[in-house]
Amino acid sequence: MRVLVTGGCGFIGSNFIRLLLQEHAEDEVLNLDKLTYAGNPENLKDVEDDPRYNFMKGDICDARDVEEAFSWGPEAVVNFAAETHVDRSITSPEDFIRTDVLGTYRILEEARKEGVRLLHISTDEVYGSIESGSFSEDSPLMPNSPYSASKAAADLLVRAYVRTYGLEALIVRSSNNYGPYQYPEKVIPLFVTNLLEGRKVPLYGEGKNVRDWLYVEDNCRAIDLVLRSGSPGQIYNVGGGEERTNLELTRAILEIMGAGEESVERVPDRPGHDLRYSVDTRKVRGLGWSPRYDFETGLRKTVAWYREHTEWWKPIKSGEFRRYYVEKYGDI
């Protein structure tokens, strides 16, 4: 299959492209990426010379860029490209509305014109927070951050294109991913690399918020399965079934890394901080998917990867990220 992947230089997109090339010898990929602060060609250095891998620098909000990428002749498009960090969406919402909403619209338009199957990558955050139980794919969308609201808007556009134009589109809504190549603004790589640098870890509020952790390779396998076996027009939740409070997560990281509670710095809470995300994953399990990594194993693998790949994250942490970090966390 010829697959157009957007946002393939980011965390999940790069892991997905690697998996696709490994698992499907006949597949070819075109990666359309704007190379924002979160897009890093280093994430795909090992596949750069594979003749089945192609790269185009471009913006999903630019109709000409999107048209040019579709002229490559994809049979399917997987739309990962997005602004993704909740905290940045609180300080700069416009970037999120532009890329996550307008960008998705551009992809939808071109997919409709060319009759290409679309798998749109969404998030469990579109459902909002849930105190107990889990959201199903039919639960109402109640997003609470500019990030999740932009992602929810995109999901509704996808739905409209399925209903109105009969576009063959599917949506995957996954829980929090973790693993190799995740930009260190997100909690797990931030905490792990801070500890490797001898810094403290900034824990928001009471640390009582709950996230369901999903190892990135497991998510990529789910995405690949939905792309090939999912029913058009359907939505699939994907989650690791590994819910932890942030305090539990922090303690697990400290233990693996041999650090103590004195390494934790309590910092003010995020505004509008969702208490808990949880999704019912029976539908994707019905396609034959289940996670291969439990949280303990995935977290150990992740810590080991960051330990062994200082050459990947050190330039990030001393570059664009440093200014962002100091402004946000001060001297921690």
Contacts with ligand NAD by CB under 6 A lie at: 6-7, 9-13, 33-36, 38-39, 59-61, 80-82, 84, 99, 103, 121, 123, 151, 174, 176-177, 183
Q: How far is the CB of 308 from ligand TYD (least distance, A)?
A: 22
Nearest Cα neighbor of 325 from 199, 239, 205, 235 is 199
Nearer to ligand TYD among residue 172 and residue 187 (C-beta): 187
Q: How far is the CB of 8 from ligand NAD (least distance, A)?
A: 7
Q: Please identify, among the stretches 61-69, 96-104, 198-206, 299-307, the one whose residues bind ligand TYD according to the rule CB under 6 A.
A: 198-206
Q: How far is the CB of 299 from ligand NAD (least distance, A)?
A: 14
Binding of residue 204 to ligand TYD (CB under 6 A): yes
Q: Please identify, among the stretches 104-112, 134-142, 197-205, 253-261, the one whose residues bind ligand TYD according to the rule CB under 6 A.
A: 197-205
Q: Please identify, among the stretches 4-12, 33-41, 199-207, 232-240, the one whose residues bind ligand TYD according to the rule CB under 6 A.
A: 199-207
Can you give the binding site for ligand TYD, defined by CB under 6 A? Answer: 86, 176, 186-187, 190, 202-204, 209, 211, 246, 270
